[in-house]
Chain A
């Protein structure tokens, strides 16, 4: 169809499809920026996805089992069934993300082919490689976990458009997400006022590119969006992470392992929007039923710790 506007004369010359550019860093990082101030919820069925969307989630993360169940089941955790991912994509209008194993670039290619909006290269699944995915080669953006500034910068250098704390997924224990967010923020604060030589030494010490460390020093934040994840289970947990500097929050098992998922989902969204208002936090935290039972992260045997996956 030809444009019918009186102003259309010049449009036809310019807007041919070959002039469009896809998958640029600006588009990838831009997508992540649109998630800021929001809650991204783990879902395993289209019904759960609909509940998440209705509660005000900015996106959903499609996976075959929430992290708490992955822990319980043991075995190898892989990308979710493409049929389920497709059903979830069809059930909602908000963006759909999905997890691929660390280093498993073919799972990521399949997710891209399915029309997933963002891939989470996640330590919650069983790693496939000691190397992470070369993410710059993809059209869609990636989010990756990090425990400190070095990990965050390495993932960004590989092309991650968004970082999240690793925390300790599937525990409902927020302490590890707190630890990782504090580590990243305090490492960035410590860069303030350093000269080039000092920044170069930090970059060497933490195994990061100098340019990224210098950018963090200048911006006083990561150059990409930084969310909290791994153990967020209550509205108070979500608000805590926002006050520690998170741009938004991922909630994994915290919603659909709670007694009343619908109420918990709405309450956590409200908590992220009103993180600095204790009155509102008190109101939205009332009468939610039991939060997920959870697991004290300090009691987990070493072989079952997820956050040490990746480097």
Chain B
């Protein structure tokens, strides 16, 4: 039985819990992670969408930053979506109050597409997927620069919107808001590896 934790400080936590439960089936359980000490007990983690400034502040205040870094260095998988993609990066462009966790060798542009008016849905071609993936971008960030260790999985025009580095998978969009579970399956194959 796997135990997957969803970082539950702010954002669309319940949507991630539901989506992960459906993806896992009887292979494991999903719990909300709200305080220090709960991260090391998990086999995999989800960093949800939300406001990266708010989640960043709460991770620091809650003493969870070190635990997250340790979690990744022990080879356990993380699925980071939207705000999560910002948080796992190593550099954030511009004047930002977010402290990146440095879990991936990426530079992130936080609101690359602009305000909510520019939020969009699109059919995405994803490396390794046979058919397009319907992706939901909400005030989405993009990866504007990356190190050699990072594998690009999808782009919108020239903008990188999905990538992985070792056990960390990051998406600028929201797999928890749609029914397509292929990214969850990708996360689970890392879990079972």
Q: Which residues of A contact B (CB under 8 A)?
A: 1-3, 5, 7-8, 10-11, 13-15, 17, 19-24, 26-27, 30-31, 33-38, 53-54, 56-59, 89, 93-96, 112, 115-118, 139-141, 269-270, 273
Contacts and interface: CB of A to CB of B under 8 A. Distances in A.
B138 A30 contact: yes
A5 B53 CA distance: 30
Given A3-B155, A15-B124, A38-B54, A95 B116 contact: yes
Given A94-B51, A140-B116, A20 B132 contact: no
Contacts of A38: 10-11, 50-51, 54
Given A3-B158, A11-B155, A140 B53 contact: no
Interface range on chain B (Cβ under 8 Å from partner): 35 or more
Contacts of A33: 11-12, 15, 49, 177
A291 B118 CA distance: 38
Given A15-B125, A30-B174, 17 more contacts: A3-B157, A10-B125, A14-B123, A14-B125, A19-B123, A22-B117, A22-B120, A26-B177, A34-B83, A34-B138, A37-B8, A37-B10, A37-B13, A38-B11, A89-B115, A95-B51, A116-B115
Interface string B12-52: 11110000000000000000000000000000000001110
A275 B90 CA distance: 31
A222 to B, nearest CB: 13
B83 to A, nearest CB: 8
Contacts of A273: 9-10, 58
A30 B177 contact: yes
Contact of A117 (B10, B123, B139): B139
A7 B127 contact: yes
A141 B118 CA distance: 12
Nearest to B153: A7
Contacts of B117: 22-23, 112, 115, 117, 139-140
Contacts of B123: 14, 19
A21 B11 CA distance: 23
Which of B12, B51, B53, B174 is the most central at the interface, judged by chain A CB atoms within 10 Å of its CB?
B51
Contacts of B61: 270
B10 A24 contact: no
* Closest CB pairs A-B (n = 5): A117-B116, A37-B10, A33-B12, A20-B120, A10-B125
B119 interface: yes
A24 B136 CA distance: 10
Contacts of B54: 38, 56-58, 94, 269
B13 A36 contact: yes
B172 to A, nearest CB: 13
B23 to A, nearest CB: 18
A30 B14 CA distance: 12
25 contacts: A3-B155, A14-B124, A15-B125, A20-B122, A22-B118, A24-B121, A26-B177, A27-B120, A27-B138, A33-B15, A34-B11, A34-B50, A34-B51, A37-B11, A37-B13, A56-B53, A58-B50, A89-B115, A93-B96, A95-B51, A115-B115, A115-B117, A117-B117, A118-B116, A270-B61
B156 to A, nearest CB: 5
B182 interface: no
B99 interface: no
Interface in B90-115: 94, 96-97, 110-111, 114-115
A17 B182 CA distance: 24
A59 B154 CA distance: 29
A89 B115 CA distance: 10
Nearest to B10: A37
B188 interface: no
Nearest to B156: A15
Nearest to B127: A7
Contact of B51 (A2, A11, A15, A58): A58
A107 B140 CA distance: 26
B53 A93 contact: yes
B72 interface: no
A14 B136 CA distance: 15
Contacts of A53: 53, 97
B17 to A, nearest CB: 12
A59 B138 CA distance: 14
A54 B53 CA distance: 8
